[in-house]
Chain A
Amino acid sequence: MSIYRISTNMPNENGVFHLNNREYSMDKVNQQINTGKKDRLPRENVVDVTQAMTIHTKIHKIDQYIRNIQDGESERSLIEVKINDTIQILQRVRELAVQGANGIYTEEDRKKMAIEVDQLLRDVILNANSKYKGNFLFSGYQKYTKPFETLEGAVRGINQSMIKEVRYLGDNGKQLREMDTGEYIATGMPGSEAFWGEQFQIYSAVNTANFRLTQDQVIMIDGNRIEFKAGDNIYAIMDKINRSPAAVTASVDIVNGGLVLKTTKPHKLELADIEGGTLLQDLGILEKGRQIGPDNYEPTATVISGSIFDILIGLRDAFLQNNQEDIGGRFLGSIDLAIDNLTYHIAETGAIDNRLKYLEKRLGDDKIAYTETLTKIEDVDIAEAITNLNMLEFAHKTALGSLARITKTTLMDFLR
């Protein structure tokens, strides 16, 4: 810059210009120290700022997933407690069954055992109707509805009112929670699965030999949607049901040619004709006009339910009728099946528990890693900032001093 003549105001104005710039820098460092963050505006470092945004969102998501896991975990552990308790109760029932099968006991003894079984039955029902955070634990999606409804009445062999029937009024729904991106895990267990002992079976009375679909239909088994096309015969229908993800097998009864549906693991089968279809009603599985349940089975069909309550009621009635053979034979076997199923559920929830714990740990580790990265990107190094501030302060003081000196003397001071 080739300026040889300096006008009087120039040093002053230039000085002020540079002072302003330095004060701007000092203010920025001051802000950094106050907030602990490097950047105040996106323009200061676009890449860092957008990266920080991404990581904030990721951490937010991880926090949510951890919350979901902990929530699911607390539901699951309550389920585990209740099922364990039920296993204890059934162990006692088994003892009674073994005893009662023994010939040395009298009819009177067996009556007493029946009363105890009835009591134990009520305990199981209490477990099955437990609540979680104010709503029912074992109702599937129908959380406001009490899952197991009892019907009491007169029973042959005793003079007091006993439970005649226990019906499941919930559905098979399992509530999902998102535990990781795109990972949905169900921690619940509907009562129709938990408190079942034997396979559910339904035998239709309608002969299906010449059955053929005239239009496309859709049915729902345990929440699985199965489609059928016009022209499908009974074998095509069976095939599609067997290939579906539902835990059920379809077959045709050799005697009456009716459709038979059996579950492959013990639970109550949820059947529905949806989207205007009538297939299951036409096949004599569901009652006409009741496409959706619960308990919408065709009255003429034979239903073998298989719930734990059915087993216990049966056992108790056998006690009351002094039916030694059934006690030691059929019902003992059924109780063993029931205990097996409950034990299986414990193992199942145990596995889910392991998975949740693993996920929680992994998410926790991820969060730590992200937080570290975030700090490196976002946060200011206080030592560095303070050093900068000192440097600027020093330069500032020097500049102010210099400005003061050169604007002092003019020729005016030396004229008479």
Chain B
Amino acid sequence: MVSTFHGIEMGKRSLITHTQATNVTGHNLNNLNTEGYTRQVINLQEYEPIFMPDMTREERAGQMGQGVITQNIVRVRDVLIDNRLIFERKDLGYYEIRNKYIHQMELIYSEPTIYNDSKLTTNLRKAFDDFMSGWQDLANHPDEKSARTVLLERANILTHSVRLHYNQFTDLRNNVDLEIQNRVNEINDIAKKIAHLNDRILRSEAIGDNPNDLRDERDRLIDKLSKIADIQISREDNDELIIYIGGRHLVQGQKYEKLNLVANAENDGYYDVYWKDGEKLVVRGGELSALLELRDVDLYYEIKKIDSFAANVTDLVNEIHRDGFGLNSKTGNNFFVEFPFVTDPAGNYDRNRDGVDDSTYIFRVSGKNKLELYDKIGIRGTMNINGIDIAYYETDTLEQVIRRINESGARVNAFLNPQSKLTIKADYELNRENPDFVIRNLRDDGLFLTGYAGILRESGDAGAFNWENINQVNQFDNLAQWSVAPQVHPSAYMEVDQKIKSDISYIAAASGIDTNGDGIKDLSNGVGDSENALRISSLKHSKVMVGMSLTFSEYFEMIIADIGSRGSHAEKGFKSAELLVQNLENIRKSISGVNVDEEFANLIKFQHGYNASAKFVAEVDKMIETIIFRLGV
């Protein structure tokens, strides 16, 4: 026999359930515009029916239902799509950042020119072209001061442009470093929050609830994190959500690891990211990975390219300028300032800072013999430059051997200087352990570097030049010429020499002769001689830049082509990642997003359900009223 109030209880249960359903619908509608909200669905279930098959069962047809109850409230979410998005979003983060910064780098170069009037262009290439023009104009009037004034002005524009590029790239690098610091702090913050959420979610689930909004919050944080770094997620254990970065645990259930920022003196004081136990963080995707790559690869080498340009222009112009004579007949002066890496004229340096010199830092060496480019060398052997073996044969022309040296990957540039002497120059290093613009090893078991070019004194190991010893300049031939390596980042301080700035008569347009046989020119040809100015301006034809033997103009083109293709690649990567993520987000929204029409239809449904239950309760109420008030005294 069911209880008297069975109906009312059932009705009450239904009213409460339908109110709950309405609230869930209301919750969905309220969160229509909430980012990352997953719509919740209430599942209604029949309440436990009576009676159980035992002794107390009523002797009537059964079982009797007891109405409706909420089974659960669940999120409609597809974990597969979530995982896809986590995987794809790291590419979006990576390319978005990369695109942004490479765009900035392209803007620094100011190519292509957008002005039709070439006088309005202000990029490095134009500054260099104008500088070379200045020497030509001086060659037209080597006896005049006005031509020198103009040349000085153009030289100042060139050095200013070089320094500007250095400063702007360094600025960008500083910005990137700041962003790296911010991102790492963000990762730490998010990891902490996720760990706390894991704790709360676990406790709620233990009681049997569905902490849907907490799960939404956690998923939002995971989404954010997946753009910053390439995380992997493990949901296998329901009680413990694990997030990995670079193969290590970042979050494991309620526990989380903090990442540390440590300044690296070898990298201009910029920060590296480490785990607490000292292992370096490995990221292969996401914004952080892009930032680290931009800072330590793209911008790092871009600055080196400008350095290489500055070092070479300074060295080449100075070499010729020292040979020439100014209006005041003075010779031996530099045009650009030179800050040698070490003050010791033999390039000796104390590398391990123990107080004793231990290395030789030489940038360039020129042999003593005049050579012809297309002559067959007629000798055979193998030379070793910076650890790379380069073979040569009797039938090779000098031009072929030079090309072989340049393409060998030894990071040196070989060419014939204006005096037709073989010159070997070091370029910036790709391996961070080795210093830039320093020749490390020269050895020849044959005669190419020794008797033929006149660079080394002796063949074999005894005559080898090894930068890790001191006084290695003694390995060079007596009449070979060499110059000490420049200080780090020559583009940061490239400047016209003070002597020239204060008195332009020092600008050496004229050439001269050696009267006393010491090998150094000491008498000017006269103020009307333009030979030295013409020699300097002919540098624009010379193939003196590293790796592929390019002229300065070709070097610029290579730099621009390189950054242009990187930019184009980054943009395409960004656009395609953006589109892909957009599509996946659409799929997710289609599953988890709130549809207003749907919710309103549900609202009507639950409203009707509520009304029906209320009416039912009213009817039962009437029935009970009959029993209580109509039956009896």
Interface residues of A (CB under 8 A from B): 1, 3-10, 13-14, 17, 35-37, 39-47, 49-50, 52-54, 56-57, 59-61, 64, 67-68, 71-72, 133-135, 139-144, 171, 173, 175-178, 181-182, 184, 188, 220, 272-277, 291-292, 378, 410-412, 415
Interface: B434 (CB within 8 A) = no
Within the complex, which residue of A53, A54, A143 is in contact with B143, where a contact is CB–CB below 8 Å? A143
Q: Closest residue of chain B to A48, judged by CB?
A: B112
Q: From A46, A141, A272, A415, give the contact of B527 (CB < 8 A).
A: A141
Q: Nearest Cβ in chain B — how far from A407, in angstroms?
A: 11
Taking a contact as CB atoms under 8 Å apart, the answer to whether B525 and A54 are in contact is no
The verdict on B140 contacting chain A, using a C-beta distance below 8 Å, is yes
Binding site for A on B (CB under 8 A): 32-33, 102-103, 106-107, 109, 111-116, 118, 125-126, 129-130, 133, 136-137, 139-144, 510, 513-519, 523, 525-531, 534, 537-538, 540-541, 553, 556-557, 560-561, 563-568, 570-571, 582-583, 586-587, 589-597, 600-601, 604
B106, A41: Cβ atoms closer than 8 Å: yes
- The 9 A-B pairs of least Cβ separation, nearest first, read A276-B517, A7-B593, A141-B526, A42-B564, A43-B567, A46-B564, A141-B528, A143-B528, A43-B568
Q: Is the CB of B582 within 8 A of A57?
A: no
In the complex, the answer to whether A178 meets B137 with C-beta atoms within 8 Å is no
How far apart are the CA atoms of A56 and B568 in the complex, in Å? 23
Give chain B residues whose Cβ lies under 8 Å from the Cβ of A8.
32, 593-597
Contacts of A415 in B (CB 8 A): 600, 604
Residues on A with beta carbons closer than 8 Å to the beta carbon of B112: 37, 39-40, 42, 49, 52-53, 378
**CB closest residue in chain B, given A187:** B140
Q: A143-B527, A276-B517 are in contact. List 20 more A-B contacts (CB 8 A).
A: A13-B589, A39-B112, A41-B564, A42-B564, A43-B563, A46-B565, A47-B561, A49-B111, A60-B126, A61-B129, A133-B141, A135-B143, A135-B527, A141-B510, A141-B529, A142-B528, A143-B528, A175-B528, A272-B513, A275-B516
Complex A-B: 24 CB contacts under 8 Å: A6-B590, A8-B594, A8-B596, A9-B594, A10-B590, A10-B593, A36-B116, A40-B112, A45-B564, A49-B112, A50-B564, A52-B112, A52-B113, A53-B111, A57-B129, A72-B140, A142-B528, A175-B528, A175-B530, A274-B513, A274-B515, A277-B517, A291-B515, A292-B523
Contact B527 A43 (CB under 8 A): no
Query: Which of B107, B513, B540, B593 meets A41, CB within 8 Å?
Result: B107
Smallest CB-CB separation from B530: which chain A residue?
A175
B530–A176 CB distance below 8 A: yes
Chain A hits for B515, CB < 8 A: 272-276, 291-292
Task: Write the chain B residue with the least CB distance to A4.
Answer: B590
* CB nearest neighbor in B for A17: B582
Instruction: Give Cα distance in the complex from A3 to B604, angstroms.
Output: 26
Task: Name the one of A1, A291, A410 contacting B597, with C-beta atoms under 8 angstroms.
Answer: A410
Q: Is the CB of B534 within 8 A of A60?
A: no
Cα–Cα distance between A184 and B541 once the two chains are bound (Å): 14
Find out whether the CB atom of A9 lies under 8 angstroms from the CB atom of B114: no
Complex contact B514–A42 (CB within 8 A): no
With A and B bound together, what is the CA distance between A142 and B527 in angstroms? 6
Query: Shortest Cβ distance from B39 into chain A, in angstroms?
Result: 8
Partner of A53, one of B125, B139, B529, B563: B125
Q: Is B594's CB under 8 angstroms from A42's CB?
A: no
Known: A14-B586, A173-B528. A43 touches B571 (CB 8 A): yes
Point out the residue from A6, A43, A143 that lies within 8 Å of B526, measured CB to CB: A143
Output the least CB separation between A116 and chain B (Å): 34
Q: Establish whether residues A178 and B109, one from each chain, have CB atoms under 8 Å apart when the complex forms.
A: no
B130, B531, B560: the one within 8 Å of A49 (CB): B560
C-alpha spacing A9/B586, complex, angstroms = 10
Residue of B118, B537, B590 with most chain A CB atoms under a 10 A cut-off: B590
Q: Contact check: which of B518, B526, B565 meets A140 at CB < 8 Å?
A: B526
Q: Is the CB of A412 within 8 A of B596?
A: yes
Contact B516 A276, beta carbon cutoff 8 Å: yes
CB contact between A42 and one of B106, B527, B582 (< 8 Å): that residue:
B106
Contact B136 A68 (CB under 8 A): yes
The reply to whether A64 and B514 contact each other, CB–CB distance below 8 Å, is no
User: Which residue on chain A has the smallest CB distance to residue B590?
Assistant: A3
A42-B517 contact in complex given A8-B595, A141-B527, C-beta closer than 8 Å: no
Chain B residues with Cβ below 8 Å from A37 are 112-114
Chain B contacts for A45, CB-based, 8 A: 564
Q: A7-B595, A141-B510 are in contact. Are A411 and B568 (CB under 8 A)?
A: no
Tell whether A178 pairs with B526 under 8 Å between CB atoms, given A3-B586, A40-B114, A220-B513: no
Instruction: Let me know if A144 and B527 touch, CB within 8 A.
Output: yes
Closest CB in chain B relative to A47 CB, distance in Å: 8
Q: Which residue of chain A is the closest to B526 with respect to CB atoms? A: A141
Q: For the complex, what is the distance from the CA of A72 to the CA of B141, rounded to whole Å?
A: 10
Q: How far is the CB of A267 from chain B (nearest CB, A)?
A: 17
A176 touches which one: B106, B107, B133, B534 (CB < 8 A)?
A: B534
Which residue of chain B is the closest to A275 with respect to CB atoms? B517
Alpha-carbon separation in the docked complex, A378 to B113 (Å): 9
A43 touches B565 (CB 8 A): yes
Q: A5-B595, A7-B593, A43-B564 are in contact. Are A178 and B600 (CB under 8 A)?
A: no
Do A42 and B561 contact each other (CB < 8 Å), given the known contacts A6-B595, A54-B553? Answer: yes
Task: Give the residues in chain B near A41, CB-CB below 8 Å.
Answer: 103, 106-107, 564, 567
Cα(A143)–Cα(B525), bound, Å: 11
Q: Which residue of A lies closest to B578 (CB)?
A: A17
Asked whether B560 lies within 8 Å of A42 as measured between CB atoms, the reply is yes
C-alpha spacing A57/B118, complex, angstroms = 11
Q: Which residues of chain A are near B518, meaning CB under 8 Å?
A: 276
In the bound complex, what is the Cα–Cα distance between A35 and B110 (angstroms)? 14
Chain B residue at minimal CB-CB distance from A7: B593
Residue ID in chain B nearest A215 by CB atoms: B517
Residues of chain A within 8 A of B595, CB atoms compared? 5-8
A56 touches B528 (CB 8 A): no
Chain B residues within 8 Å of A182, by CB: 538, 541
CB < 8 Å: which of B103, B568, B589 contacts A7?
A: B589
Q: What are the residues of chain A within 8 A of B514 when measuring CB–CB?
A: 274-276
Contacts of B556 in A (CB 8 A): 53
The residues of B that contact A54 with a CB separation of less than 8 Å are 553, 557
State A60–B131 Cα separation when bound (angstroms). 11
Given A7-B590, A276-B517, A277-B517, A43 contacting B106 (CB threshold 8 A):
yes
Q: Please name the residue on chain B nearest to A45 by beta carbon.
A: B564
How far is it, in angstroms, between the C-alpha of A83 and the C-alpha of B419 when the chains are bound? 38
Q: A8-B594, A175-B529 are in contact. Are A46 and B516 (CB under 8 A)?
A: no
Distance (Å) between the CB of A371 and the closest chain B CB? 10
B586 and A10: CB pair below 8 A? yes
With both beta carbons as reference points, the residue of chain B lying nearest to A378 in the complex is identified as B112
| Docked complex Cα distance between A182 and B534 (Å) | 10
**Chain B CB within 10 A, most for which of A8, A39, A176, A378:** A8
Contact status B568-A35, CB under 8 Å: no
How many Å lie between the Cα of A40 and that of B571 in the bound state?
14
Q: Are B601 and A42 in contact (CB under 8 A)?
A: no
Contacts of B517 in A (CB 8 A): 274-277
- Closest chain A residue to B524, Cβ basis: A141
Structural contact, B525 and A141, CB atoms closer than 8 A: yes
- Shortest Cβ gap from A276 to chain B (Å): 2
User: Considering the chains assembled together, what is the distance between the CA atoms of A213 and B478 in angstroms?
Assistant: 25
Once bound together, how far apart are the Cα atoms of A49 and B114, in whole Å?
A: 11
**CA of A272 to CA of B514, assembled, Å:** 11
The distance from the CB of B265 to the nearest CB of chain A, in whole angstroms, is: 34
Q: Please give, as numbers and ranges, the residues of chain A lying within 8 Å of B587 by CB-CB distance.
A: 1, 3
Which B-chain residue is minimally distant from A47 (CB atoms)?
B561
Q: Which residues of A contact B129 (CB under 8 A)?
A: 57, 60-61
Docked pose: A91 CA to B200 CA in angstroms: 117
Q: Which residues of B contact A52 (CB under 8 A)?
A: 112-113
Complex Cα distance, B595 from A10, in Å, reads: 10
Cβ contact of B561, chosen from A14, A50, A135, A220, cutoff 8 A? A50
Q: Are A173 and B557 in contact (CB under 8 A)?
A: no
Cα distance, A181 to B529, chains bound together (Å): 19
A50 to B589, CA, bound (A): 45
Counting chain A CB atoms within 10 Å of each CB, the highest count among B133, B510, B527, B556 belongs to: B527
